[in-house]
Amino acid sequence: MNHRRIPVTGGCLCAAVRYESMDPPTEGFFCHCTICQKAYGGLFSATVKFAGSSFKFTQGELKHYRATPIATRGFCDNCGSPVAFFYDDLPDVWIKIGSLDHPDDWPMTRDASWGRTSHWCTDTKVPWYEITDGLPQRTGTV
């Protein structure tokens, strides 16, 4: 049985940076853009979106890197763990699902009851990777 823990907590690998949200995430995203592939060293980025009004960092601070003119990526300056993504004009926070203390509470599947999940930028995904989970797919830039 899935027991969703509130507040939702997490942090980086070395625990220098910690965060919490008093509300659950609202959506999940798999981003297949080439910037996410490079930034996270994988085939895609997996994030969950939290309302900025209920989210706070409780320990440490992230270092930020701007790869595009519209957003920054936050990571731990000590261990290098990618943790967050911030659009300049939006109050929400996109958190790397692997940085959650309990990512199993928020399955990014078609039948998840907590929120919808989708694939973004699928036109730039690695060609040999097949998306077979039945989630909605969106092409183009974020």
For the chain, the domain total comes to 1
- Decide: 53 and 92 in contact? Cβ < 8 Å: no
Is 79 domain-assigned? Answer: yes
The C-alpha R_g of the chain, in whole angstroms, comes to: 15
Is 88 domain-assigned? Answer: yes
What does pTM read for this prediction?
A: 0.92
pLDDT tens column, 54-105: 999 999 999 999 999 999 999 999 999 999 999 999 999 999 999 999 999 9
**What residue numbers bound the domain in which 48 lies?**
8-124
Is 118 domain-assigned? Answer: yes
CATH for 106: 2.170.150.70
